[in-house]
């Protein structure tokens, strides 16, 4: 009986080992599609795909690329993630890898292209296609050179001597950006370099011609028995990418500033405050879920808003609280865009900091300009005329009663900051201060009237 049990146990162990060996022979290859404009959405695709590939212990990652380029900041984040990926990343260029797509492709371990595909033309341009000033080109030249250099050098023996040669010549990468670069027998001055598949193969910027990802995996990467797992973007990835766009973030900042301003000009809580709160949530939520915005950064913004409101509603004049509040608001909005841990900014580049500050400051500047422009026009002219009661009501009702108040004295029935209520001859009127902040019960004098409101100065 013991002999039989021993034999059965041995058979089970042998079969189990065989099954495990068979399972291990199946190699997992993870694929990520990059087939749209390079932006925050494609960065999210790559970021999430790389993380899932690590969780699944994939042997290799293959990018299936077809793009005309896109945002430089997103491309920079993507190429950095690829360079530092613990799993080797390969790319199959299915037709186009232009501009930002070229930068991302050069970061990959190996580049494979379909017949008729192209790679190059990485000059930094604006929305109209015009090349940006040289300071932008300089940064891109350095970035694409360093990306090519990161692939290292091959060691060759020539005539008994050891020769080291770049796997991807950095000067060729630079020629994809700068039309002043001249490479004999390849590119003349005045032309930006773009390779066909065959040209890229000849000059070391393509490691093989293939017609499908399957051919890349089997013939070039060398996996015969493999399983493919592809990243499937969710609707949430697309929504998050949309709200992380610098343009949308700038617009949200404008709504935050505008909502706070108009709420301070109206009694009670209403639509402006709701708009500001919703805009703040849409601004911080994607950044928080993506790991950029931390609790302390959001707290800085909230404290800053509170200080600004205290300065306006409680503290006379404008001083330390208001200035501190503005700095905290700007700081909270800016640092939420930076990938830092607590107060450690060593991993944040100067370009990232400049881009974040520019996004916030432009949003704040346009926001302030917009609220001033709108406040001057609401109820007075143009499409905003119907949003307020003005001339007709004033002429019909208020003009006769308010005209007689000019020169009269009374008191501030509420705090004027600058609007509020004033009491003249025992009657309450809507009043606006023309002499700054006025405390409640301060004697005032009516100097003029307009739009059913009296304008007063303190005595």
**Rounded-to-integer distance, Cα 253 and Cα 389, Å:** 29
Q: Which of 214, 235, 256 delimits the end of a domain?
A: 235
Q: Is residue 163 part of a domain?
A: yes
Beta bridge partners of 430: 421
Q: Is residue 10 part of a domain?
A: no
Q: Are residues 176 and 56 in the same domain?
A: yes
Which structure tokens are listed for 366? 């346009």
Q: Are residues 175 and 76 in the same domain?
A: yes
Q: Which of 235, 263, 290 delimits the end of a domain?
A: 235
Q: Is residue 406 part of a domain?
A: yes
Which structure tokens are listed for 142? 């350095």
Pairing of strands 153-158, 208-209: unpaired
Q: Is residue 19 part of a domain?
A: no
**Rounded-to-integer distance, Cα 1 and Cα 7, Å:** 10
Q: Are residues 366 and 429 in the same domain?
A: no
Q: Is residue 171 part of a domain?
A: yes
**Rounded-to-integer distance, Cα 316 and Cα 313, Å:** 8
Q: Are residues 217 and 335 in the same domain?
A: no
Calculate the CA 33 to chain-centre distance. Answer: 20
* Listed residue (424, 438, 423, 430) closest to 455, CA to CA: 430
- For residue 345, count CB atoms less than 10 angstroms from its CB and return exposed for 0-12, middle for 13-18, buried for 19 or more: middle
Containing domain of residue 58, as a range? 25-235
Q: Which of 347, 377, 407 delimits the end of a domain?
A: 377
Q: Are residues 363 and 394 in the same domain?
A: no
Q: Are residues 185 and 276 in the same domain?
A: no
Q: Is residue 8 part of a domain?
A: no
Q: Is residue 12 part of a domain?
A: no
pTM of model > 0.75: no
- 328-386 residue pLDDT tens: 888 888 877 776 666 666 666 666 677 777 777 777 777 767 766 766 555 444 444 44
- Looking up residue 51, the CATH number of its domain turns out to be 3.90.226.10
**Rounded-to-integer distance, Cα 449 and Cα 459, Å:** 18
Q: Are residues 196 and 63 in the same domain?
A: yes
**Rounded-to-integer distance, Cα 139 and Cα 350, Å:** 11
319: Cβ contacts below 8 Å, ≥ 6 apart: 311
Helices (H), 234-343: 235-243, 246-264, 271-289, 295-313, 320-335
277: Cβ contacts below 8 Å, ≥ 6 apart: 259
Q: Are residues 34 and 136 in the same domain?
A: yes
- 260-318 residue pLDDT tens: 777 666 655 567 778 888 888 888 887 777 666 777 778 888 888 888 777 766 666 55
Q: Are residues 113 and 202 in the same domain?
A: yes
**Rounded-to-integer distance, Cα 108 and Cα 110, Å:** 6
Contact 129, 141 (CB under 8 A): no
pLDDT of residue 381: 47
- Looking up residue 432, the CATH number of its domain turns out to be 2.40.50.140
Q: Are residues 308 and 187 in the same domain?
A: no
- 43-94 residue pLDDT tens: 989 999 999 999 999 999 999 999 999 888 889 989 999 999 999 999 999 9
Query: Coil, strand, or helix at residue 57?
Result: coil
pLDDT of residue 214: 94
> 202-226 burial by CB neighbour count: b if 16+ within 10 A, else e?
ebbbbbbbbeebeebbeebbebeeb
pLDDT (mean) for 319-335: 79
Tell me what the pLDDT averaged over the chain comes to: 81
**Rounded-to-integer distance, Cα 114 and Cα 211, Å:** 5
CA distances from 221 to 117, 216, 377, 446 (A): 20, 6, 65, 85
Q: Are residues 369 and 418 in the same domain?
A: no
pLDDT (mean) for 122-131: 81
Q: Who wins on pLDDT, 328 or 230?
A: 230
Residue 23: pLDDT over 50: no
Q: Who wins on pLDDT, 404 or 174?
A: 174
Q: Rounded to 5 degrees, what angle do the CA atoms 198, 203, 204 make?
A: 100
Q: Are residues 100 and 210 in the same domain?
A: yes
Which structure tokens are listed for 11? 């058979």
Helix, strand, coil tally for the chain in percent (to 5): 50, 20, 30
Q: Is residue 17 part of a domain?
A: no
- For residue 392, count CB atoms less than 10 angstroms from its CB and return exposed for 0-12, middle for 13-18, buried for 19 or more: exposed
Residue 399: pLDDT over 50: no
Q: How many structural domains are present in the chain? A: 3
**Rounded-to-integer distance, Cα 150 and Cα 77, Å:** 15
């Amino acid at each position: 009986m013991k002999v039989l049990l021993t034999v059965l146990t041995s058979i089970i162990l042998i079969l189990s080992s065989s099954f495990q060996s068979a399972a291990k022979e199946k190699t997992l290859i993870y694929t990520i599609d990059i087939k749209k404009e390079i932006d925050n959405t494609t960065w999210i695709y790559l970021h999430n795909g790389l993380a899932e590939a690590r969780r699944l212990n994939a042997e290799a990652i293959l990018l299936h690329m077809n793009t005309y380029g896109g945002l430089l900041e997103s491309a920079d984040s993507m190429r950095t993630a690829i360079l530092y990926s613990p799993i080797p990343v390969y790319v199959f260029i299915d037709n186009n890898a232009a501009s930002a797509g070229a930068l991302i492709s050069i970061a990959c371990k190996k580049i494979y292209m379909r017949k008729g595909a192209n790679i190059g033309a990485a000059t930094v341009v604006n929305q109209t296609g015009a090349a940006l000033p040289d300071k932008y080109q300089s940064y891109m030249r350095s970035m694409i050179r360093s990306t090519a250099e990161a692939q290292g050098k091959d060691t060759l023996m020539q005539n008994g001597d050891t020769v080291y040669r770049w796997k991807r010549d950095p000067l060729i990468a630079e020629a994809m950006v700068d039309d002043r670069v001249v490479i004999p027998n390849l590119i003349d001055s005045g032309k930006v370099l773009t390779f066909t598949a065959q040209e890229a193969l000849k000059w070391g910027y393509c490691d093989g011609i293939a017609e499908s990802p399957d051919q890349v995996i089997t013939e070039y990467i060398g996996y015969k028995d493999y399983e493919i797992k592809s990243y499937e973007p969710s609707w949430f990835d697309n929504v998050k990418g949309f709200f992380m766009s610098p343009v949308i973030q700038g617009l949200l900042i404008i709504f935050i500033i505008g909502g706070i301003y108009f709420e301070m000009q109206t009694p009670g809580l209403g639509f402006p405050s709701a708009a500001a709160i919703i805009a703040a949530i849409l601004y911080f939520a994607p950044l928080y879920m993506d790991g950029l915005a931390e609790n302390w950064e959001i707290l800085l913004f909230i404290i800053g808003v509170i200080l600004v409101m205290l300065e306006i509603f409680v503290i006379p004049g404008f001083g330390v609280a208001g200035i501190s509040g503005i700095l905290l608001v700007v700081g909270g909005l800016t640092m939420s865009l930076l990938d830092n841990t607590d107060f450690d900014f060593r991993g944040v580049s100067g370009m990232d900091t400049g881009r974040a500050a520019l996004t916030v400051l432009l949003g704040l500047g346009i926001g302030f300009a917009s609220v001033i422009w709108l406040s001057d026009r609401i109820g007075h002219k143009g499409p905003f005329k119907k949003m307020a009661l003005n001339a007709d009501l004033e002429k019909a009702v208020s003009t006769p009663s308010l005209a007689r108040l000019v020169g009269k004295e009374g008191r501030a029935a509420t705090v004027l900051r600058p609007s509020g209520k004033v009491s003249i001859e025992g009657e309450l009127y809507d009043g606006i201060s023309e002499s700054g902040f006025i405390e409640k019960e301060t004697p005032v004098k009516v100097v003029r009237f307009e739009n059913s409101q009296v304008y007063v100065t303190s005595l």
